[in-house]
Amino acid sequence: MVRIDQDIKLDFKDVLFRPKRSSLSSRSQVTLERELHFMHSPLAWTGVPILAANMDTVGTFAMAEVLSKFKCLVAVHKHYSLEQWRTWCSRVGRDVLDNVAVSTGILKDDLIKLKSVMEISKANFICLDVANGYAEAFVEVVKTLRRDYPDKVIMAGNVVTGEMCEELLLSGADIVKVGIGPGSVCTTRKMTGVGYPQLSAVIECADAAHGIGGMIISDGGCTCSGDVCKAFGGGADFVMLGGMLAGHDESGGQLVHDLKSEKWYKEFYGMSSDTAMNKYAGGVANYRASEGKSVKVPYRGPVGHTVQDVLGGLRSCCTYVGARALKELSKRTTFVRVTQQLNPVFDHAPAAPQAPKAPPRPTVAAAKEARETESDGPPSPKRSRADSAGSPRH
């Protein structure tokens, strides 16, 4: 029988933080690093709990090298070959590898490859990722991974409700990924009608997880640093970013030069999009539909600048609510519901003229990864007309 939940569910756009009295005199007094201990794994981790998504346009080796300098994590996508893993692991140190999660699916081949990658990398984190974390088969794989990797930190998802969050934690996950459909290049809500407003999902899943000693990741839905703050304020232990980290030197995706605008763009697409399935699965199977889209993101330069903006916004938020450390933010949070967040008066004003941007020059790490991908990875797609004006150096 059909049931309608009459409770109002909220997204990041529906609320703002209520400021509170603060004894902090500077943003520099805020501590963003956390020391975390896990429900099942005996390991401890210290760092800033922001995580790059396990998409091949975001969760790259080059991204891991940069984000590790900020003590942030990267869920490295599962499509790197074993040879690419060996090459990369041979030239980076534990300061990078200790901040890497190895991503995997639930198929037999995925789990066989995971074993090899874990032997090569000696990583401490495993990110078990499927679109629908409610499947019984997924729960069984979580149990299997806990048995096979008793000392590793296991992330599993995605789900959006408290009861499933509890089941995954009790089955062996240390951290549950929360979010169905909020991503910038995800079309699951449009294609299936399934989803849950992200802020309410975070609040409810955090309550369920923390009650039994588990943790959650807010995965998707962040459009700016303020949304990252709201996810932490709602109780998330980690926040996973995809679109906010796209378009940079360290991001994956083809670099395209638009002849008309004379601007550079980078390809960004969902991992259930036509683009991703054509690239890795030989096309969209006849029993399913694409649940992602492909976009071109304006080139944004080195990712370090974006990470610094996010961390700066997070520190500023903590000062507004009087939280001396990130771990205090949720305890100091009171949200107010709003109908409008921003002043739109200049939304449609013409942008100030700028000098044409020179062709982007990738970082050393990104350049190395591009060369390795060309030699070891799948063949590069054909150049589009937009590329005919001349490609930047890789």
Backbone angles phi, psi at 59, to 5 degrees: -85, 65
Annotated binding residue 183: yes
Please state, in angstroms and as integers, the Cα–Cα distance from residue 196 to each residue in 23, 73, 181, 206, 288, following that order. Answer: 37, 25, 8, 14, 22
Distance, CA of 33 to CA of 290 (rounded, Å): 38
Distance, CA of 192 to CA of 205 (rounded, Å): 22
Maximal CA-CA distance, the chain: 61
Selecting among 127, 186, 222, 317, the annotated active-site residue is 186
Distance, CA of 110 to CA of 103 (rounded, Å): 9
Annotated binding residue 253: no
Helix (H) or strand (E) holding 169: helix 162-171
Q: Which of 7, 65, 11 is nearest to 218 (CA)?
A: 11
One-character DSSP codes across 233-277: HTT-SEEEESGGGTTSTTS-S-EEEETTTTEEEEEEE-TTSHHHH
Residue owning tokens 């991001």 = 251
Q: Is the dihedral of CA 69, 75, 80, 86 positive or negative?
A: positive
Convert 364-388 to b/e letters by CB count within 10 Å (16 or more is b): ebbebbbebbeeebeeeeeeeebbe
186 is catalytic: yes
Residue type, 151: D
Let me know if 61 is exposed, middle or buried by CB neighbors in 10 A (0-12, 13-18, 19+). Answer: buried
Catalytic site residues? 186
**Residue list, annotated binding site for K(+):** 181, 183
